[in-house]
Amino acid sequence: MRFAIAVYSAVAYAVFGLALVGAVLFLTGAGGPPLLDRGTPGPVPPALAVDLGLLLLFALQHTVMARSAFKTRLRRLLPAAAERSTFVLAASGVLLLLFLAWRPLPGVIWNATGWPAVLIAAAGWVGWLALVASTFMIDHLDLFGLRQGWAAFRRSTYREPRFQTRWFYRWVRHPLMTSFLVIFWAAPRLSVGHALFSAAATAYVLVGIWFEERDLRRAIPEYAEYQRRVGALVPRLVSKPAPSWRPGDRFTD
């Protein structure tokens, strides 16, 4: 069983890697037209229905699987060490489906050229780099289920990572989400379909942050002070960045 859990975690991580590459191609094209704009747009109503349905499916998967009640039921079916990998695998699968089934929509909101296009594209690639870097500033292996699978393989006790405020997390509470927002909107050519995806994803990010922070305040006593000192998505100009925190420390400079 422990070997199977380790393999399962590795497979889930590999599928996530595939989904990450798909996301880059879907939103940027990596040198060509973004995948979400490729193809000949058909009638708007059915294309819009498909796209909204895919976005709803992604939101439902994330929302349902993130709830503690669902996690409790899942642990009755799967080992606890496989819980995070199951979420990663499901989320990656839904994303791949969205990328493959997305229907292009007619119309362009803006189409930058020259140096503005270069600057916008550069901002987008900075967003991708910051996104990946942010995962390593907390615990990349834990975030994607690999640490749990490795602990099960070694028959060692898994401990959740401690609350940390390193690097980007000293300045903003959700650098991952900030990176996503930059990625969504830093498009030299913003089509109607791209704007639909970005608007829906942005709304989900903002709602998700509200629910996540409600849970964090309940679970981590220090989080309320962290929330007071540090901006959610952009640094606060009038407040100091949070100091690096370790269990047992107080927020002091």
Comparing 166 with 132, the larger pLDDT belongs to 132
What are the residues facing 172 on neighbouring strands? 231
User: Given this model, what pLDDT does residue 41 score?
Assistant: 92
Helix (H, G, I), strand (E, B) or coil at 44: helix
User: Given this model, what pLDDT does residue 177 score?
Assistant: 96
Q: DSSP character for 248?
A: T
Burial class (CB in 10 A: 0-12, 13-18, 19+), 24: middle
pLDDT digits (tens, 9 = 90+) for 58-114: 999 998 998 878 888 888 888 888 999 999 999 999 999 999 999 999 999 999 999
User: Given this model, what pLDDT does residue 33 score?
Assistant: 86
For the ranges 5-9, 11-15, 225-229, the one whose mean pLDDT is highest: 11-15
Q: Please choose, from the candidates 172, 166, 178, the residue with its C-alpha nearest in 3D space to the C-alpha of residue 131.
A: 178
User: Given this model, what pLDDT does residue 20 score?
Assistant: 97
- Under the banding of pLDDT at 50, 70 and 90, the label for residue 240 is low
User: Given this model, what pLDDT does residue 251 score?
Assistant: 37
Q: Vertex 139, ends 138 and 144: CA angle to 5°?
A: 125
Query: Is the separation of the CB atoms in 45 and 122 below 8 Å?
Result: no
180 vs 68: CA distance, rounded Å = 25
Q: Across all residues in the chain, what is the average pLDDT?
A: 89
pLDDT exceeds cutoff 60 at 30: yes
Q: Is the pTM of this model over 0.85?
A: yes
Q: DSSP character for 108?
A: E
